[in-house]
Structure 1
Amino acid sequence: MKVTKKTKVIRSPKRGFYDKETIYKILDNHFICQIAFVYEGYPVIIPTIYGRDNNNLYIHGATVSRMLLELEKGVPLSINITQTDGIVLARSAFHHSLNYQSVTIFGEATLVTSENERYKALKIISDQIIPFRWEEVRLPSKKELKATKILKIPIVEASAKIRKEPPSDEKEDYNLSIWAGEIPITSTIQNPISDPKLKEGIPIPESVKKLMKKE
């Protein structure tokens, strides 16, 4: 990625990464992002599901969605995805920190109008959450597709910021009798819970089994 004034990491620049491999890896490990934009003169930030296809992110929602109606106008937006990996406890309160991985993207969204791309985008978003589920379910009807708006956001201006290190204390504080270290934080896939209205005898689908094995 080309480093720009917007994407350049200023605070702790050694933690900044601009290569596609690092950025895409973080994006592909998640499916929820926070989208920020200015609406009627005030800042708004809204969480939404996304899917990545090469150098584009797709988001979707109801055709009457305030966010999508505004973003399709091409207003500037910013997207953030953050994964917290651990609480870093130092010997001093000042140097407590977090280990994390984050990506920030700047750009504009465009409305997807091609029916083929719209259909493809919905599958991409579905696969971002749980691969292979799309092949197991009833696919969207014409009525459902008509009620859905899809936007595409090119990943042009983007950077990652990663902290993965132990506490950093003042030199004299290393002699203090105070515990310091990291408390790791992880997210895990739990055992699936069947819908109470599920017909008897329906097994857990392959997409869910594969997701559980991934853990």
Structure 2
Amino acid sequence: MQAEELKALFDQQAKGYDRQWAGMAPLRDTLHLLLASLFAELPADARILCVGVGTGAELGHLADRFPGWRFTALDPSRAMLDRCRERAEQGGFVHRCTFHEGYLDSLPLQPAHDAATCFLVSQFLLERPMRITFFNEIAQRLEPGGLLATADLASDVASPAYETLLRSWMTLMSSAGVQPDMLARAKAAYARDVAILPAPQVASLIEQAGFETPVPFFQAGLMHGWICRSVAGDRG
């Protein structure tokens, strides 16, 4: 799926996105709980970059936990960014947010950020060099030694384990109330529009992009999460 097609898809889904995936909230909440603990030692006035922020779920969680932090919310979908802004307005932290409609290459390098989040975003980059470039663009916008927390779907799709995990993942989404048409689209997308790679390969791509060896901190079904630091002195 091309960038503009993906943007259009998320524009269409934005209005009902949180409602559609509400049943998966326990997984999201666990990821955010761990995220807050991993970021807890950042400065009281830390600047956080949220890449592919969507409706702003992780931004909202961090803003509630850390009242002095400032955020850059980045997303190519204006409709998603509008939902994120609404969340920030309702939560009373919109004054701590900068909203940037577009991709990383249009985001200035300065001011640098202390940490970044990137959840279920890089998996849509099907070519490995593009995925490395994507993570390098994040590294360039972090302070040396800045933290990256990232999560994507990951598995060895040629292994029997993948079929087991995929069936379980689809059952999980169905039991969580995800509608059948969305399930069908998701399963088709996994085969065509999502780069599901073995977890060690995803970690290797991140490391090649200018980060220290990523440390796994989360797994739920097909979703894996890593935490890592940008290599000091490497700004791309």
TM range (shorter): under 0.3
Higher relative contact order (CA 8 A, sep 6+): 1
Higher-helix-fraction structure: 2
Higher-strand-fraction structure: 1
Structure with higher Rg: it is: 1
TM-score (norm 1): 0.25
